[in-house]
Structure 1
Amino acid sequence: MVAFHHRWFLLGILLLAGCTKTTPVDEISVQASGVSLNDAVAPDLSDGWPGWRGPQQNGHAVGQELPTEWSETENVLWRTKVPGRGHSSPVVVNDLVLLATADDQNQKQTVMAFDRKDGSQRWETVVHEGGFPSSGELHKKGTNANGTLLCDGEHIYAAFLNSGKIIATAFDLDGKQLWQQELGAFNSKFGYAPSPLLYKSFVIIAADNRGGGYIAALDRDSGKIAWRISRPAVSTYSSPLVAEVGGRDQLLISGCDQVASYDPATGKKNWSTPCLAEATCGTIVTTDDKIFASGGYPKRQTVGLSADGKLLWSDKTKIYEPSMLVEGEQLYGITDDGIAYCWSTETGDVLWKQRLRGSFSGSPILCNELIYISNLSGETFVFKAKPDGYEEVSVNQLGADCYASPAAVDGQLFLRVGTQSGGQRQEELVCIGKPDTTKVSE
């Protein structure tokens, strides 16, 4: 009996060790890879929604007017069924709306394209079959297609967790695979969340995880790794951002109990500032000279930093899953449990806060000084971005739930929602707009 218990004790240790297995990250420099940044390759995608948080990577939809009211029928231009599950938010480039999705039963991770004019499916490409993480390695709210796709106008880029690795894949606009690149091992605690980031001729992908985190930059045309740097062995979930702050381009990411800045051309660290929490989910937002981040788990904090990482102010509030917005001299955020905040970007003072309804996972967008954000019950709140108090414009019900964030192009709003019928959940892609906004930009 003692030997029996001893064997089970050893098995328990081995299982625990397997859960926390670390894998050393093989760092790659641009000198070693021979792949340098091409400054001339910077497509203009300002008239679309090419990736996570839109053309400026900050949730702003400029140069258009979006509808503020809709229902299951009013101002709905089209809606189409999306197979499987995913929190991948819509991406809109030219006449295509792009999504990633996952079929858990058959273990398929897929990239799909829909016609922007009528929602009809244009093509579907299976990227991976099999290799899904176990149910214990995925958060109950998560999916196997959390990350939003990226499109540079010629190629589409996806990053999936599969077979214990993060794998990046590129496609042409007809869904044909162009290249595929393994970025590194990934020890999953709750799944994989970050979205790819476009920076000139690079695609940049973060992969923080408890087995050993890393960020990698890939050449857009070949998929070859230009640089790869190591990060702490911590499970955290934020997507990176490249923004010009303090007169230089900075690659910024939160999580691992810090905010860190890197040179996006080389991966070299500029600075890191201890703050926030072990785990964060939201993407950093910036002004010309300031950086704002929030999170997380187990600590809760919202911070304002200078362009060189000096902590300017701190507030004991966490915006965990949704990302935040900056408009003028105000910072806006909605907590997971539905409290909207407005801070002064200069001082960190709370100018107002207002309880909304429900819980939130998706991130807000801003258009014409109006903030749009959907809750997990399928309600989209529209309210004014103003410093002197919360002013609601409308609340619009569509579907039964909404985990993804909206995209906005040419006066049209694109939402990925869940519907319920006969106890069965079905995801849909919905285009909201006024009847005169059906023209697709060339």
Structure 2
Amino acid sequence: MNLFLLPLLLCADPTPAPAWPGFRGDGTSTSAAKNLPLTWSPTENLAWRAPLPGYGQSSPVVWNGRVYVTAVDGAEKEKLLVVAVDAATGRAAWAKEFAAGQKGKNNPMMSRAAPTPVADSDGVVAFFESGDVVALTHAGGVRWQRSLTKDYGAFKNNHGVGSSPAQTDAAVVILIDDGEPSYLVALDKATGKTVWKADRKGRSSWTSPVAARVGGRPAVVVSSSGSLDAYDAATGAELATLGGLVGNNIPSPAVAGDLVVFGAGEGRAKAGAAAPSNGCVRLAATGSKLAFEPEWELKRVVSHHASPLVHRGHAYFVTKAGLVHCVDLATGAERYAERLDNPCWATPVGAGEHVYFFGRDGVTTVLKAGPEFEKVAANRFWGAADFARRQAEAREQAAATLPRPPEGKGPGGGPPVSPEERDAARYSAVGDVVYGVAAVDGGFFARTGTELICVRGPGR
């Protein structure tokens, strides 16, 4: 079956690039990629655009000239899709379909292939909100499959599961904070068997774990719904915990050496309460024990969909409305707070002297890294008129399938909201939403719900 149209533009093969192997690359959302473009438009530096089957909210991952994406399809998300795309041309290398072990509602109010896969030299491992985990070779062969819902219980979250796996050399680590059950589990990359499982207090969130060396040892760090926790990456034993956080349900932590920067956003019932839960701690050793020691906390900064970014001595926090706060990593002192050109859901990417903010509606703001607000460019994937037309069409299609809020309540069953606020929430994930990006030598791969876009500089 032909899943793709021909790319709009063809270009020369890119220079072999460092991999972008998972959510936020290696978990930091920073890249050593060279020759990244600073400017592009619908007619400049867009190498190709490839339509994707189904719908997906996961970020692209890149390994050895292949871009991997996931998607779901069907009225009940009964079809799970893993697609490999040639990075040079945008043509499909292969596409595999699997049956979902747990079906669910397929609409913009739910996660739809939200977890980002991970890749390494042996292949790609994809996790879906149905609880299915599928490991494939780079040629598309199935290595192993298993169902977390079958083994540990069905997921019951009102908006679905959105956590992306992290990976160590030997294991894929998946966070399931879904009320009951809630747990962190490590699966052997070669076999899919459980290496360890750490049960957690029941809660709901959509954050992702980070595998890193913290405090001089391999650890998995989780910021989720009230606490910041560190686990031993080899055994799953808890190393340290910090409680009392508010609103840390979506942003994932950023690890820089022994420092952990974490973000939190405000819900309607938590106005003003989440700001002190944006901050930085150090994982320090006291004798044989480890503990999180506070470094700084912020007073008026919140994060929403995007996770904090640490790059070149500064930390960047972005609200869902597109306000970026830049603070000094060492002290937490605010350097600036400025409006971006577009609301930002994807975590920004730090590369060399620049920070790239890929806006939700396809407008990317490029800033000079550092303590001063210096805008380098504002780049578009679509022209303004074309984008408005596409959004109107997508909204009309979605209106027929979106669930109506319960009587007297908001879109997610929460407190009542105005019609304007209700519609903004209901249609926020409709149409050409930019969910994630991968950076490699010479360019970027940006993913919307239905399209993969390659950005490359001149001559690449």
Is TM more than 0.5 here? yes
5 Å matches for 1:401-412? 401-412=432-443
Give the whole-Å Cα distance in 2 for the aligned partners of 1:127 and 1:385: 42
Q: Match for residue 305 of structure 1?
A: 281
Question: Does structure 1 retain, via aligned residues, the 8 Å contact 2:218–2:234?
Answer: no
Alpha carbons of 1:206 and 1:386: their partners in 2 closer, same or farther (altered >3 Å)?
Answer: same
5 Å matches for 1:147-166? 147-162=115-130, 166=131
* 1:73 equivalenced with 2:43 (yes/no): yes
Give the whole-Å Cα distance in 1 for the aligned partners of 2:194 and 2:102: 23
Q: Match for residue 122 of structure 1?
A: 93
Structure 1 residues 397-437: Cα deviation after superposition (integer angstroms, max 9, x where no partner): 1144333221111112111136xxxxxxxx22111112432
The DSSP-based 3-state class of the residue aligned with 1:125 is: strand
Give the whole-Å Cα distance in 2 for the aligned partners of 1:212 and 1:323: 25
Give the whole-Å Cα distance in 2 for the aligned partners of 1:63 and 1:409: 5
Question: Does structure 2 retain, via aligned residues, the 8 Å contact 1:232–1:256?
Answer: no
Question: Does structure 2 retain, via aligned residues, the 8 Å contact 1:234–1:256?
Answer: yes
Question: Does structure 2 retain, via aligned residues, the 8 Å contact 1:374–1:402?
Answer: no
Alpha carbons of 1:433 and 1:174: their partners in 2 closer, same or farther (altered >3 Å)?
Answer: same
Give the whole-Å Cα distance in 1 for the aligned partners of 2:346 and 2:212: 22
- Structure 1 position 63, deviation (Å): 4.0
Give the whole-Å Cα distance in 2 for the aligned partners of 1:131 and 1:219: 22
Question: Does structure 2 retain, via aligned residues, the 8 Å contact 1:132–1:144?
Answer: no
* 1:255 equivalenced with 2:224 (yes/no): yes
Aligned length: 377
The DSSP-based 3-state class of the residue aligned with 1:252 is: strand
Greater Cα shift, 292-301 or 407-416 = 292-301
Q: Match for residue 246 of structure 1?
A: 215
Give the whole-Å Cα distance in 2 for the aligned partners of 1:191 and 1:80: 27
Give the whole-Å Cα distance in 2 for the aligned partners of 1:278 and 1:227: 28
- Percent same amino acid among aligned pairs? 30
Structure 1 residues 366-408: Cα deviation after superposition (integer angstroms, max 9, x where no partner): 1112111222211111111111x21111111114433322111
Give the aligned residue type for 2:122.
E
Alpha carbons of 1:131 and 1:395: their partners in 2 closer, same or farther (altered >3 Å)?
Answer: same
Structure 1 residues 151-174: Cα deviation after superposition (integer angstroms, max 9, x where no partner): 112121011122xxx221111112
Give the aligned residue type for 1:295.
A
- Structure 1 position 189, deviation (Å): 2.1
- Structure 1 position 178, deviation (Å): 1.5
Give the whole-Å Cα distance in 2 for the aligned partners of 1:430 and 1:354: 27
5 Å matches for 1:103-182? 103-105=73-75, 107-129=78-100, 131-134=102-105, 140=109, 142-162=110-130, 166-182=131-147
Structure 1 residues 128-165: Cα deviation after superposition (integer angstroms, max 9, x where no partner): 24732236xx762x432011111112121011122xxx
Q: Which runs of 4+ in 1 moved over 6 A?
A: none
* 1:345 equivalenced with 2:329 (yes/no): yes
Unaligned runs of 5+ in 1: 1-44, 419-426, 438-442
Q: Match for residue 416 of structure 1?
A: 447
* 1:385 equivalenced with 2:369 (yes/no): yes
* 1:319 equivalenced with 2:287 (yes/no): no
Give the aligned residue type for 2:112.
N
5 Å matches for 1:263-282? 263-277=232-246, 279-282=248-251
Give the aligned residue type for 1:408.
A
Question: Does structure 2 retain, via aligned residues, the 8 Å contact 1:331–1:345?
Answer: yes
Alpha carbons of 1:390 and 1:275: their partners in 2 closer, same or farther (altered >3 Å)?
Answer: farther
Give the aligned residue type for 1:385.
A
5 Å matches for 1:362-377? 362-377=346-361
Give the whole-Å Cα distance in 1 for the aligned partners of 2:24 and 2:347: 8
The DSSP-based 3-state class of the residue aligned with 1:376 is: coil
Give the aligned residue type for 1:394.
A
Give the whole-Å Cα distance in 1 for the aligned partners of 2:310 and 2:35: 19
Give the whole-Å Cα distance in 2 for the aligned partners of 1:431 and 1:235: 34
Greater Cα shift, 195-204 or 126-135 = 126-135
Unaligned runs of 5+ in 2: 1-15, 284-290, 388-431
Give the aligned residue type for 1:341.
H
- Structure 1 position 255, deviation (Å): 1.1
Q: Match for residue 26 of structure 1?
A: none
- Structure 1 position 250, deviation (Å): 2.0
Q: Match for residue 169 of structure 2?
A: 200
Alpha carbons of 1:46 and 1:436: their partners in 2 closer, same or farther (altered >3 Å)?
Answer: closer
Give the whole-Å Cα distance in 2 for the aligned partners of 1:190 and 1:86: 15
- Structure 1 position 278, deviation (Å): 5.1
Give the whole-Å Cα distance in 2 for the aligned partners of 1:104 and 1:354: 41
Q: Match for residue 232 of structure 1?
A: 201
Give the whole-Å Cα distance in 2 for the aligned partners of 1:239 and 1:200: 18
* 1:91 equivalenced with 2:61 (yes/no): yes
Q: What is the TM-score normalised by the length of structure 2?
A: 0.78
Q: Match for residue 188 of structure 2?
A: 219
